[in-house]
Amino acid sequence: MKINDIKRVHRIPKTDMDKMIDEENKSNDTGMQFYDLSHEWGLGQPCWPYFEDVKIERLHGHSRSGVLTQKITTVMHSGTHIDAPAHVVEGTPFMDQMPLPRFFGAGVVVSIPKKKWEVITAEDLENVRPKIREGDIVIINTGWHHTYADSAEYYHYGPGLYREAGEWLAKKKVKMVGIDVQALDHPLGTAIGPHGTGPLIPHLEDEYREFTGGRGIKEDFPDWEPCHRALLNAGICGIENVGGELDKVTGKRCTLAAFPWRWKGGDGCMVRLVAMVDPSGEYRIEQGDTE
Question: How buried is 281 (Cβ within 10 angstroms: 0-12 exposed, 13-18 middle, 19+ buried)?
Answer: exposed
Distance of alpha carbon 66 from alpha carbon 64, whole angstroms: 6
For 4, the 3-state DSSP assignment is helix
pLDDT at 17: 63
pTM: 0.91
- Nearest to 242, CA basis, from 115, 148, 101: 148
CB atoms within 10 A of CB 215: 11
DSSP 166-212: HHHHHHHT-SEEEESSSSSS-GGGSTTSSSTT--SSTTHHHHHHHHH
SS (H, E, C) 90-136: CCCCCHHHCCHHHHEEEEEEEECCCCCCCECCHHHHHHCCCCCCCCC
Break the chain down into helix, strand, coil percent, rounded to 5: 30, 20, 50
pLDDT of residue 92: 96
Q: Which residues does the chain have with pLDDT short of 50? A: 1-11
| CATH placement of domain 81-277 | 3.50.30.50
